[in-house]
Amino acid sequence: MSSYNGPAVLITNEGREHPVTANLHTTSHGLRTGWAGTLSVPANQQPAELMNLSRGRLRLQDEREGEFLRPDIGDWLGSPPQSFQITIVGSGDEPF
Question: DSSP string of 67-80?
Answer: EEE-S-TTGGGGPP
DSSP 8-state symbol, 93: S
Total number of residues shown for the chain: 96
Q: What is the CATH number of domain 3-91?
A: 2.40.10
Task: Reply yes or no on whether the pLDDT at 1 is more than 80.
Answer: no
pLDDT digits (tens, 9 = 90+) for 34-67: 999 999 999 888 888 899 999 999 999 999 999 9
Give, in degrees to the nearest 5, the angle at Cα 20 between 59 and 42: 175
Q: Which pLDDT band holds residue 29 (cuts at 50, 70, 90)?
A: confident
Q: Cβ neighbours of residue 71 under 8 Å, at least 6 residues apart?
A: 87, 89
Show the DSSP H helices in 12-75 as ranges. none
pTM: 0.91
